[in-house]
Structure 1
């Protein structure tokens, strides 16, 4: 039963970590998204090569993918939290069953 407690604690810690990812990525992602609309650093070279549109499209795609990852990690964190809660409940039930057997 101690193993269940360790697993539950580990899952809970991992879920908490996943939930904080968005806090750390929100600002850099917003800055990256803003930069995709201001590619003036490419100057004339970017315009001549027609790269500006391709680069902007690629950056926009990366932003969308990063947002999807945030959503996926949030879903994973919820699932891990649910499994952790289930382990906690199972441990309580097993402990109660063991006490009942001892009488």
Structure 2
């Protein structure tokens, strides 16, 4: 029964950490999105090669995918939290059943 409690605590901790990913990536993602429309770092080379639009499109796609990952991670964290809660409940039920059986 204590294994369920440890598993529940571990899942809860992992879910909390996963929920914080957005906090750590919000500013870098914002900066990345802003940079996707500033091709000055490439100078004339980007424009001469006709790559500017491709680079912007690629960076926009990466930013959108990151947003999708955040949603996926949020859903995964919720699921992990739900499983953690279920383990806690199961641990309580098993402990109660064991006590009732003994006593």
Q: TM-score, normalised by structure 2?
A: 0.98
Q: Find the aligned partners of 1:13 and 1:41 in 2 and give their Cα distance.
A: 41
The 5 A counterparts of 1:68-83 are: 68-83=68-83
Would you identify which runs of 4 or more consecutive aligned residues in structure 1 move more than 6 Å?
none
- Give the whole-Å Cα distance in 1 for the aligned partners of 2:102 and 2:26: 54
Which residue pairs with 1:23 in the alignment? Answer: 23
3-state DSSP of counterpart to 1:50: coil
Offset of 1:43 from its aligned partner?
1.8
Gapped runs of 5+ residues in structure 2? Answer: none
SS at structure 2 position matched to 1:85: helix
Aligned ranges 1:1-103 → 2 under 5 Å: 1-103=1-103
Higher mean displacement: 37-46 or 48-57: 37-46
SS at match of 2:59: helix
Deviations 1:13-65 (A, max 9, x none): 00000000000000000000000011122121111100100000000000001
Partners of 1:38 and 1:48 lie apart in 2 by 16
TM-score (norm 1): 0.98
